[in-house]
Each structure stands twice: as C-alpha cells, then as structure tokens.
A = this chain, B = another copy of it.
Amino acid sequence: MPFTYNRSVRFQDTDAAGVVYFANILGICHEAYEESLEAAGIDLKAFFSNPSVAFPIVHANVDFFRPIFCGDKLLISLIPQKLGEEKFEIAYEISLAYVIVAKAITRHICIDVSSRIKQELPSEIVNWLENNRRDTEEAERRKAREIM
C-alpha cells in the first residue's frame, strides 16, 4: 500500500474565499513526505535542520478538482520514484471521503549543502524510495488480481 497521511484542514490553511489557499496544499503534501521519512526511521531534525546533504525541490505542480474547506479530513497518499542517481520525485493524491480533490508532484535533487553541487542520493533515501515503491507496486498487483 502507498504511504498515507491523515490531515484535518485548519482555519489557518484557509483564505477569505472560504477555502484552502492554493499554495497551502503543497505544504500539506510536504508534511506527508516528512511523515513518510519518519516512518522509515529517518530523524527529521537531523534531516532538515542544518544537514550536510539536502534535497531541495526544483519543481512542484498541483491540480485542484474540488474546493477544500476548514475541517475537511484529507487523506494524502504518496508515491515516490527515483529519477536518476541524483533526483527523485513524489506524486501525491489528496482525497476526501474516497474522492480525489487534488493531485500534486514535487521533484527533488540531492545536493551537498556547503557547495550546493549535485551528488548521488545517499543510501537512506535510496532505501526509502525502494520500500515505498515496492509497497505501492504490491498494492497495485493485489488490486489488479481483485479486479480479475
């Protein structure tokens, strides 16, 4: 099964139009990424605060299918994918009561923080990518069998 993260929409996420401010959905997706890293045993403080290796986002996109309101109980599912030796991307599906309300992607590169030069993904991230990938593929195979 892909990794999933439950998130209630907060008053702070909304704007004067009464729905979630568009850019905040990307922040909610990043929370799902953080939860997924932590579930894989990665220490978030070391990973995000003053590390020697970092994974800045070089591209992000998001599509909205329905308005999202304060109090809505979102489920974010996350599927990461390796894109090369120095790059990966994460696809997110944001759903509400089994209906997809938004989809997003973040693309990350691996850099040495002091030089800001690209470098190979370290083993803890390669493992995280492989484990999440395998879980997702197994879930898809299972689903395909159920359909047959």
**Residues of A participating in the B interface, judged by any CB pair closer than 8 Å:** 8, 10-12, 14-19, 21-24, 26-27, 30-31, 34-35, 38, 43-45, 47-50, 54, 56-65, 67, 69-72, 106, 113, 116
Contact = CB atoms under 8 A, between A and B. Distances in A.
A128 to B, nearest CB: 15
A49 B16 contact: yes
Pick the 3 closest A-B CB pairs, nearest first.
A44-B71, A61-B61, A14-B16
Oligomer copy total? 4
Contacts of A56: 17, 19, 22, 64, 67
Contact of A62 (B8, B19, B31, B61): B61
Contacts of A10: 27, 30-31, 34
